[in-house]
Amino acid sequence: MEQDRFDDFVKTIKNDSPAEDISLYLKALWYDANADWEASHNIVQDLNDNNASWIHAYLHRKEGDSFNADYWYNKAGKSRPAGTFKEEWDNLVKYFLK
């Protein structure tokens, strides 16, 4: 079931905009998947919780700003993963689909 929800979300990446009924976290990840780092970042920078900090960390890691990413991972209570960006994106989406 979890994989079905993930697959359904991934299919929406080709749409012109994210679904209205998804969380801001998933919207941020949708924009990231659509190569709109700024839109994704704008969403999470205005949210003040561990979940947003985790996505914020991922975005800065992807950007290549390890120092800033580590700040946000720490704030989220997470460690910087050793895997690929795609693996982290997949893990984030699956987490927020629960």
Q: Which of 59, 67, 66, 21 is nearest to 40 (CA)?
A: 59
* CA 97 to chain centroid: 11
CA distance 86 to 57: 14
What is the DSSP secondary-structure string of 27-58?
HHHHHHHTT-HHHHHHHHHT--SHHHHHHHHH
* pLDDT value of position 39: 97
Q: What is the pTM of this model?
A: 0.94
Q: Is residue 68 helix, strand or coil?
A: helix
* pLDDT value of position 1: 64
Per-residue model confidence as pLDDT tens for the chain (98 residues) = 678 899 999 999 999 999 999 999 999 999 999 999 999 999 999 999 999 999 999 999 999 999 999 999 999 999 999 999 999 999 999 999 99
